[in-house]
Chain A
């Protein structure tokens, strides 16, 4: 069974802390994505990557960075967490060809910043 695994389902951090959200996929997918989900706003793309060591900004990259050192792993980093980054974070992956592609999602990481 294909899988996208997010390391932490629930996190509580303090303002100013550095936060790492880890995502691993076992489908050998080229593309990986980080989304943020907030009520009434749907899913907003933070960053995506279509290859190892490659990254592209999405719609809301401010305050975030990413790392993709291995094909299967895509990390989201909050350098200095703020309360407005309290949200649900969703990782997803897809194969390179849209003809066969769909997004496969992890179960999400709910982050609370106090």
Chain B
């Protein structure tokens, strides 16, 4: 069965520091991979997605992620965190069958300190 693991429940970083959020997936074929962000009290917004091609993908708000097939990982990175980046981040994997089911990780909560 497909699964997505985000091993870090909560991360705290200082404003201006770099950030890496981890995501590992379990899926037999080439996955479609996504990172979403959720601000408090809001729905989820897409940060970036990987379907094929270049394994380093750029997203909105200065985020990027790298697909590493050998490690079954799709880690999210940002070189310099801003206070407005404080939010919940979700990694997701999608399947190709009818209905296009998405499987989500349990999320990583990011706190940014001044």
Set B46, B51, B100, B106: member contacting A96, Cβ < 8 A: B100
**B113 interface residue (CB < 8 Å to A):** no
Give complex CA distance A94, B51 in Å.
Answer: 15
Per-residue CB contact flags for chain A residues 79-114 toward chain B (1 = under 8 Å, else 0) read 000000000001010101011011101111000000
Give complex CA distance A82, B47 in Å.
Answer: 35
Give complex CA distance A107, B43 in Å.
Answer: 4
Q: How many residues in B have their beta carbons less than 8 Å from beta carbons of A?
A: 25
**B70 interface residue (CB < 8 Å to A):** no
Set B9, B46, B90: member contacting A102, Cβ < 8 A: B46
- Shortest distance between the CB of B76 and any CB in chain A (Å): 15
- Shortest distance between the CB of A33 and any CB in chain B (Å): 8
Q: How large is the interface on A (under 10, 10 to 19, 20 to 34, 35 or more residues)?
A: 20 to 34
Set B44, B96, B99, B101: member contacting A105, Cβ < 8 A: B44
Known: A42-B107, A102-B49. A31 touches B44 (CB 8 A): no
Per-residue CB contact flags for chain B residues 9-22 toward chain A (1 = under 8 Å, else 0) read 10000000000000
Q: Give chain B's interface residues, CB within 8 Å of chain A.
A: 9, 32, 34, 36, 41-46, 49, 51, 90, 92, 94, 96, 98-102, 104-107
Enumerate 20 A-B pairs (CB-CB under 8 Å) in ascending A order.
A33-B102, A40-B9, A40-B106, A41-B106, A42-B104, A42-B106, A42-B107, A43-B44, A43-B104, A48-B101, A49-B99, A56-B99, A92-B44, A98-B51, A98-B94, A98-B100, A103-B46, A105-B44, A105-B45, A108-B43
